Amino acid sequence: FNIMTARTWGLDVWGRILGIGREIEIDEDTDWLGYRGQELQPFNQGTFYNPGATNVWPLQDEPYRKLLLLKAMANISDCSIPSLNRLLNNFFDGRGAVYVLETGVMQLRYIFEFWLEPYERSLMRREDIPPKPAGVGYTWFEIPPKETFGFWGSTLMPFNQGTFSGGYY
pTM equals 0.67
pLDDT at res. 51: 53
pLDDT at res. 13: 92
Q: What confidence category does residue 72 fall into, taking pLDDT thresholds of 50, 70 and 90? A: confident
pLDDT at res. 21: 86
Using one digit for the tens of pLDDT, what is the confidence trace for 87-111?
A: 888 888 888 889 898 888 899 999 8
Q: What confidence category does residue 14 fall into, taking pLDDT thresholds of 50, 70 and 90? A: very high
Q: Would you say 100 and 109 are in contact if contact means Cβ atoms under 8 Å apart?
A: yes
- Please state the three-class secondary structure of the chain as a single string: CCCCCCCHHHHHHHHHHHCCCCEEECCCCCCEECCCCCCCECCCCCECCCCCCCCEEECCHHHHHHHHHHHHHHHHCCCCHHHHHHHHHHHCCCCCCEEEEEEECCEEEEEECCCCCHHHHHHHHCCCCCCCCCCCEEEEEECCCCCEECCCCCCCECCCCCECCCCEC
Using one digit for the tens of pLDDT, what is the confidence trace for 30-55?
A: 555 555 555 555 555 555 555 555 56
